[in-house]
Chain A
Amino acid sequence: MGTRDCGHICGESSQGIGEAGRTGEWRSARPVIDNEKCTPARKNKPSCFLCWLYCPDAVISKAIPIHIDLEYCKGCGICAQVCPTQAIAMVNEEECSS
């Protein structure tokens, strides 16, 4: 079984979750949310969602409370930077698994 069956003759893919592989494996720091500080969670109202807007990998859901898909989150830390209430902390991945 080779790769010829995919039918591509150049680098080609369709848009889809996971198309670039499990990019969550690249992460060295994990975004951890403090829902005591997160505005939509605290007010229980759809609001803010700047992390959802700025996430370049679209792994943050616009929900209450927000949810981050760690399968594909690369740990870039943009969400933590843009959060006006500092509700997201970037925690070293090694500390999270221990």
Chain B
Amino acid sequence: MLGSKAGTQILDGNHAAAVGAKLSRVQVIAAYPITPQSPVTEKLSEYVEGGNLKAEYVAVESEHSALAVCSSASLVGARTFTASSSHGLAYMHEMLHWVAGTRLPVILACVNRAIGAPWNVLNDQQDSISQRDTGWIQIYARTNQEILDSVIQAYKIAETVYVPVMVCYDGYILSHTEMPVDVPSPRDVDSFLPPYKPHTILDPANPRNYNLVTLANPRVNAEGVLCHGYMEIRYLLQEALQNAGETIASVGREFGGLFGRSYASMLWEYSLDDAEIVIVAMGSLAMEAIVAADTLRDEGHRVGVLGLRVFRPFPKSDVVTALKKARLVVVFDKNISYGSEGATCSEIKSALYGSGANAVIRNFVVGLGGRDIKARELAGAVNKSLPALKEGVLNDEYPEWICHI
């Protein structure tokens, strides 16, 4: 059947995510349909109903319950998958914290969609950016191939470092757009992805309590062992994310060795070698930026693109290396931290502080609620930022919006 044969297939992004989960041999799926994620849930329930995927598909009444089911299933040793968007992801917010705090390797496909008010079902990245501080790894795909590949890699990453992973991709632009996708064979995926080994213990002969009230200070347990207080457990989550970069890169390298598509870097780099001007973007916008960079090169500017593949953990030192030679950095954000600036721009600035880099940085908020953003508009924003180079004003306090206000 479609989506189960190895080789090149024409798949939309949602289908690619479902195939990725199927190839990863997920055992428990719990998801609640929401635009534009719904086809992921439909496809997976088809696989389960048709006997093509040996998994439990748990129908739930909300996204909060969907992640609660995944949390419990993961705790007792099942490989789990869920997917959501926008308001659904917001409704999961509490459980996102629980899953990360329990260090459960749940994988969530986030089909990026704008959030109300006002109602909007179209794409931007405000939904996943708003979940930035829940302790999940966040990977952003630029193409449908990257969606499929990232879901498979996500399991290996999550089950190595015991941190859940959100694989994010732009609603409609990727979720409902068909592209050729190379689908690996189940046997090859099996050789890459070993069965899930939980860190939690389910053994009636040796029962455990998980997530009981944990007070502020460390405490000696009944066996006389000094155990973590709340803060030590939270420290370990931060430590796991700080160290996750190495695993993300090594898993990506190994994936490349087996499947011919390497993900050894947390960044995508395009024409950076001689670039004075660097466009920074995340998700499908990073592909659009390549077209803009080519146009600007035709006009005589030395422009490259830095695509952010992994947003959490943020690859600070890689960003510093990639932007070392840049004189102008133009960051496009499909999100806004209200009262401040685009979330990725803040990260870029934070990474560069103290690195010796002296690039002028300009931030543009674009594409909110599905507002179309074309390569020529990205190029226009870069052209508009050029005078800042001469003026030498490194920073603007607030971002500029590409809209009609």
Contacts and interface: CB of A to CB of B under 8 A. Distances in A.
B208 A5 contact: no
Interface stretch (B150-158, B228-236, B327-335, B396-404): B228-236
Contacts of B232: 2-4
Contacts of B212: 11, 13, 19-20
B219 interface: yes
Interface of A: 1-6, 8-21
B340 interface: no
A6 B233 CA distance: 11
Contacts of B207: 14-15
Given A8-B227, A12-B210, A13-B212, 16 more contacts: A1-B226, A6-B221, A8-B228, A9-B199, A10-B199, A11-B212, A11-B228, A12-B200, A12-B208, A13-B221, A14-B208, A14-B209, A19-B209, A19-B212, A20-B213, A21-B219
B191 interface: no
A6 B226 contact: yes
A10 B221 contact: no
6 contacts: A6-B225, A9-B103, A13-B221, A13-B227, A16-B221, A16-B222
Nearest to B228: A3
Nearest to B229: A3
A9 B210 CA distance: 11
A5 B209 CA distance: 18
A17 B236 CA distance: 27
B218 interface: yes
A9 B162 contact: yes
B215 interface: yes
A54 B149 CA distance: 54
B102 interface: yes
Given A3-B229, A6-B228, A9-B236, A14 B223 contact: yes
B213 A5 contact: no
Nearest to B227: A6
Contacts of A5: 225-226
Given A3-B218, A3-B232, A11 B225 contact: no
Nearest to B213: A20
A14 B206 contact: yes
Interface residues on B, range: 20 to 34
B383 interface: no
**Interface residue SS majority, chain A:** loop
B185 interface: no
Nearest to A7: B225
Contacts of A21: 215, 219
Contacts of A3: 218, 226-229, 232
B296 to A, nearest CB: 47
Interface in B186-217: 199-200, 206-215
A6 B221 CA distance: 10
B77 interface: no
Contacts of B240: 9
Given A3-B218, A15-B209, A21-B215, A10 B226 contact: no
Contacts of B102: 10-11
B209 A13 contact: yes
A15 B232 CA distance: 21
Given A3-B228, A6-B226, A16-B221, A11 B236 contact: no
A11 B221 CA distance: 12
Contacts of A4: 232
B221 A19 contact: yes
Contacts of B218: 3
A20 B219 CA distance: 9
A66 B225 CA distance: 32
Contacts of A11: 101-102, 210-212, 214, 228, 233
Residue among A8, A10, A19 having the largest count of chain B Cβ atoms under 10 Å: A10
Contacts of B211: 10-11
B215 A13 contact: no
A13 B227 CA distance: 9
A47 B228 CA distance: 43
Nearest to A15: B207
Nearest 4 pairs of A and B residues by beta carbon: A16-B222, A3-B228, A6-B227, A11-B211
A19 B236 CA distance: 22
B101 A14 contact: no
Given A9-B236, A10-B233, A14-B209, A19 B222 contact: yes
